[in-house]
Structure 1
């Protein structure tokens, strides 16, 4: 299996690229953000809990996220691989993901990070906020806080995966096709 952690700050293009890579390599795309949004929209207990954190630009607690991720992985026992989008976000989550995959005789093959400057991210998210209906994309201060949280709490994962020789940084600026080509070069060598 080819298991990829697709990484990058909010607005880096993870969702767009994950959809393309999913089709190209026949992978399952698990986006914690999409799963949270579904639960929030349907006002499930998980959704209510997640919403209270997301609305403040904070991360959802590990236990909630890990339990949800395990349930999503279980839905796809015959997958050729998985793109993890939005997870892990902390070293503890990365360790939990390693344990989860080891229990299935598998592992993460690569962390691929889309690298984009902050000001480009802010403009992308404000633009997305005009059509997405997402409150966290419409408020610049919330956007900047989400980016800060990303750097403060999740950038440490870069070192976690570098130590395993599994980290690949990819320029996330340019056309969708250009970025896909850069990502594909990494996936093709796994």
Structure 2
């Protein structure tokens, strides 16, 4: 099963990608993880990405495609994979189609996690992170700390990361609408897209996603 997972920031792609990949016994391939792994391993592509990111630049499509191609060629991806964060735009989507055609395969499905824009803003802008340990996270509505501004776990100060501020979230959404959302139409023309409402508890969204796959994910 070869799947692309797409959706706006705050849709829960990372969570769903991990759960779906585990259920289907295929690797979860995340662009962010690819970048970090190549940088950590000191590969040629990793050195290129590290230099670009240190200067605050965007990783070129050809570098992202090359990393993804290398990962998809690994033995554990022989029977399929779930792509999260790739392709990011139409150029990358076309490159992916070409890569798969060269290997005599194609995508089985594109799952579009749908969340209203104001819900995305509410989810992300409400996050609060511990300054002592960033793995300790809370939400002003969904998971408030016992004492406002104080981490329940270690007593550290809770703060709102710059990436989580409303203005930044709306800019990220604008980039998503401009760059990534068009791939939904591109894959829709190929009959591959299933739109999944992500306004539900995590297990229910996973169930909906599995049901939308060819053969119900079996």
Which residues of structure 2 form unaligned runs of 5+? 136-159
Count of residue pairs brought into register by the alignment: 184
Match of 1:184 among 210, 215, 218: 210
User: Counterpart of 2:123?
Assistant: 124
Secondary structure of 1:130's counterpart equals strand
CA distance in 2, matches of 1:33, 1:177: 24
> 1:36 touches 1:50 (CA, 8 Å); kept in 2?
no
Partner Cα separation in structure 2 for residue 163 and residue 39 of structure 1: 34
Moved over 6 A (4+): 40-43
- 1:167 is aligned to 2:193: yes
Matched, 1:10 2:13: no
CA contact (8 A) 2:114 2:197 kept: yes
Structure with greater helix share of residues: 1
| Structure having the higher Rg | 2
TM-score (norm 2): 0.75
Please, which runs of 5 or more residues in structure 1 have no aligned partner? 54-58
**2:46 corresponds to 1:47:** no
- 37-46 or 164-173: bigger deviation: 37-46
TM alignment of 1:96-175, pairs within 5 A: 96-128=95-127, 130=129, 132=134, 137-175=163-201
Distance 2:128 2:115 in 1: 18
Q: Deviations over 1:87-106 (max 9, x none)?
A: 11211111100111112211
TM-score normalised by L of structure 1? 0.85
What RMSD in Å do the two structures reach over aligned CA positions?
Answer: 2.6
Aligned equivalents of 1:128 and 1:67: distance in 2? Answer: 34
User: Is the 2:4–2:82 Cα contact (8 Å) retained in structure 1?
Assistant: yes
Asked if the contact 1:113/1:169 (under 8 Å) is kept, the reply is yes
Q: Cα distance, 1:154 vs. partner?
A: 1.4
Larger RCO (alpha carbons 8 Å, 6+ apart):
1
Q: After alignment, is 99-108 or 138-147 more displaced?
A: 138-147
Aligned to 1:56: none
